[in-house]
């Protein structure tokens, strides 16, 4: 079960805390993905504040949702989920605002609880303020957890703290929850009180520790969320470096999804990768690029300040700088798309070029086509989109308007400044000529 009912007052936001994004996804989505990796028989999420929005954003039909109408503590939250889970289950309790917990840390907890024990995840911290302290006897056995507001001065000096993550057999958990009281400083039903109940029942309490301290960090403020974002990104940077990717600065890359890289890939600073991005061998990505749901072929160079989304780029292409490749675009091998060129829902064949200051929208462009500076496809008539077809080996001069729907035949040449409103036959030169005139003595308008 994942506890995700809290409001998160310190976030100072109308958005439910577990929906705040980490690496482009809600905090809760990260925890759900980790839980899924353990192959549970059932997954129950306890929601409360912003419950409707949380369900809508996560949108997973296989999740069992339990609603905690009033937030009366973690023990009370677990009570709401218990009816959704089978009587012979081993229950793992996670938190929707602790997104970096690793599956390898959780499996030992599940294994220990599966043998009938109560398993706790604890860690040693330099500054334990705010955490529940793990109280042990002289022999080192866990006796109970003392919450900060209820702890004695001696207990507050303890540095082993509770992370909140635990696992237990369902039947025993139900018994312990039924015996909880809210006789404490906060008037809440603490899940941590089940530790003392387990000890009283003679149930062994097993303790496990996370592989890395950051795994158990939760989010209670925007500052903590920002710190966790950097930790996530440094983890991603380390993974990329270990796989052989060259990063100009590991502290200046953001992966907000999945990034797969081949051999000898290099990435400059301040690049953002969203959704699912695949960079093949030898790809070079310049500074300050944004790639979202993109595949890039071998040896292609993405020059600085380029944005590519929902597109495929072939091998040995050259894109940018300052290019925008919009959704639905497919660029073949050796295509050049240069500075201040926008391509949308179009295909460009092998070796075609639009090197600067052009717009290619809703178009099918053949191979070895040259699109001159200032050329645009006029694909929108104010109500509907229309398609432009440019066949192989066409040369289009500067400042040409192609008013769709229109087809330019193979091998045609269109002179600079032309406005094309009819199909152009293959071969030959097409012009829309106008006579140049001069008006002597003409005066510019002046301000009144």
With a CB cutoff of 8 Å and minimum separation 6, the contacts of 227 are 217
Does the bond joining 395 to the residue before it have cis omega, within 30 degrees of 0? no
In-domain check, residue 447: no
Residue 264 CA to residue 283 CA, distance in Å, equals: 7
In-domain check, residue 386: yes
Residue 69 CA to residue 206 CA, distance in Å, equals: 32
In the listed set 158, 181, 216, which residue is the last one of a domain according to the structure? 216
Which one of the listed residues 20, 30, 76, 356 is annotated catalytic?
A: 356
Classified as helix, coil or strand, 195 is: helix
Same domain, 282 and 194: no
Same domain, 16 and 154: yes
Same domain, 243 and 201: no
How far are the Cα atoms of 176, 221, 254, 296, 297 from residue 368, in angstroms, in the given order? Answer: 74, 55, 36, 20, 19
Residue 95 CA to residue 18 CA, distance in Å, equals: 9
Give the pLDDT score at 448. 78
- Residue 289: both structure tokens together: 């690029």
- HSE, CB side, 13 Å, CA atoms: give it for residue 378: 14
Same domain, 193 and 248: no
Classified as helix, coil or strand, 120 is: strand
296-323 residues labelled b (16+ CB within 10 A) or e (exposed) = bbbbbbbbbbbbbbebbbbbebbbbbeb
- Residue 88: both structure tokens together: 């012979």
Same domain, 144 and 206: yes
In-domain check, residue 448: no
Residue 206 CA to residue 94 CA, distance in Å, equals: 17
Cβ neighbours, 10 Å, residue 150: 15
Q: 104 lies in which domain range? A: 2-216
Contact 150, 185 (CB under 8 A): yes
Residue 215 CA to residue 225 CA, distance in Å, equals: 13
Residue 207 CA to residue 160 CA, distance in Å, equals: 11
The CATH number of whichever domain residue 54 belongs to comes to: 3.90.550.10
In-domain check, residue 107: yes
Residue 304 CA to residue 404 CA, distance in Å, equals: 31
Nearest alpha carbon to residue 354 among 320, 330, 385: 320
Instruction: Report how many domains make up the chain.
Output: 2
Same domain, 238 and 212: no
Residue 5 CA to residue 42 CA, distance in Å, equals: 19
* CA-angle at 319, arms to 313 and 320, nearest 5°: 150
Instruction: Give me the tens of pLDDT residue by residue for the chain, a chain 448 residues long.
Output: 999 998 889 999 999 999 999 999 999 999 999 999 999 999 999 999 999 999 999 988 899 999 999 889 999 999 999 999 877 899 999 999 999 999 999 999 999 999 999 999 999 998 888 899 999 999 999 999 998 888 999 999 999 999 999 999 999 999 999 999 998 888 899 999 999 999 999 999 999 999 999 999 999 999 999 999 999 999 999 999 999 999 999 999 999 999 999 999 999 999 999 999 999 999 999 999 999 999 999 999 999 999 999 999 999 999 999 999 999 999 999 999 999 999 999 999 999 999 999 999 999 999 999 999 999 999 998 899 999 999 999 999 999 999 999 999 999 999 999 999 999 999 999 999 877 787 888 787 788 7
In-domain check, residue 436: no
Nearest alpha carbon to residue 287 among 314, 313, 266: 266
Nearest alpha carbon to residue 90 among 115, 73, 68, 64: 115
Residue 172 CA to residue 144 CA, distance in Å, equals: 16
Same domain, 340 and 211: no
Same domain, 192 and 238: no
- Torsions phi, psi for 420 (to 5 deg): -100, 115
Cβ neighbours, 10 Å, residue 279: 26
Question: Catalytic: 356?
Answer: yes
* CA-angle at 120, arms to 118 and 123, nearest 5°: 160
Torsion of CA 294, 295, 299, 302, to 10 degrees: -10
The CATH number of whichever domain residue 350 belongs to comes to: 2.160.10.10
């Amino acid at each position: 079960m994942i506890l995700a009912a809290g409001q998160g007052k310190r976030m100072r936001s109308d958005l439910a805390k577990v929906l705040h994004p980490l690496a482009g996804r809600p905090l809760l989505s990260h925890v759900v993905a980790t839980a899924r990796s353990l192959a549970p028989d059932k997954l129950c999420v306890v929601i409360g504040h912003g419950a409707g929005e949380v369900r809508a954003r996560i949108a997973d039909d296989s999740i069992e949702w339990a609603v905690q109408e009033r937030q009366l503590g973690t023990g009370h939250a677990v009570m709401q989920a218990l009816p959704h889970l089978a009587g012979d289950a081993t229950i793992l309790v996670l938190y929707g605002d602790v997104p970096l917990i690793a599956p390898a840390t959780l499996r030992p907890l599940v294994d220990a609880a599966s043998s009938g024990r109560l398993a706790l995840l604890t860690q040693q911290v330099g500054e334990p303020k705010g955490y529940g302290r793990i109280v042990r006897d002289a022999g080192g056995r866990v006796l109970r957890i003392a919450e900060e507001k209820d702890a004695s001065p001696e207990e507050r000096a303890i540095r082993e703290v509770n992370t909140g993550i635990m696992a237990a057999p369902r039947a025993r958990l139900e018994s312990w929850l039924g015996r909880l009281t809210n006789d404490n400083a906060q008037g809440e039903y603490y899940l941590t009180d089940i530790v003392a109940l387990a000890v009283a029942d003679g149930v062994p309490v097993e303790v496990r520790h996370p592989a890395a301290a950051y795994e158990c960090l939760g989010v209670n403020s925007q500052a903590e969320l920002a710190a966790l974002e950097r930790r996530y990104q440094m983890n991603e940077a380390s993974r990329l470096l270990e796989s052989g990717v060259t990063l100009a600065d590991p502290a200046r890359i953001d992966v907000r999804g999945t990034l797969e890289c081949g051999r000898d890939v290099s990435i400059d600073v301040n690049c953002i990768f969203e959704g699912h991005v695949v960079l093949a061998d030898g790809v070079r990505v310049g500074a300050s690029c944004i790639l979202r749901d993109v595949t890039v072929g071998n040896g292609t160079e993405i020059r600085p300040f380029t944005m590519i989304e929902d597109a495929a780029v072939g091998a040995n292409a050259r894109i940018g700088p300052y290019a925008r490749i919009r959704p639905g675009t497919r660029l073949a091998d050796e295509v050049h798309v240069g500075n201040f060129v926008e391509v949308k829902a179009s295909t460009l064949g092998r070796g075609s070029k639009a090197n600067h200051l052009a717009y290619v929208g809703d178009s099918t462009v053949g191979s070895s086509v040259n699109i001159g500076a200032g050329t645009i496809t006029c694909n929108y008539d104010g109500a509907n989109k229309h398609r432009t077809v440019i066949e192989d080996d066409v040369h289009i001069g500067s400042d040409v308007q192609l008013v769709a729907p229109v087809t330019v035949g193979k091998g045609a040449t269109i002179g600079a400044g032309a406005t094309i409103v009819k199909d152009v036959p293959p071969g030959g030169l097409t012009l829309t000529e106008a006579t140049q005139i001069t008006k002597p003595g003409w005066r510019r308008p002046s301000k009144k």
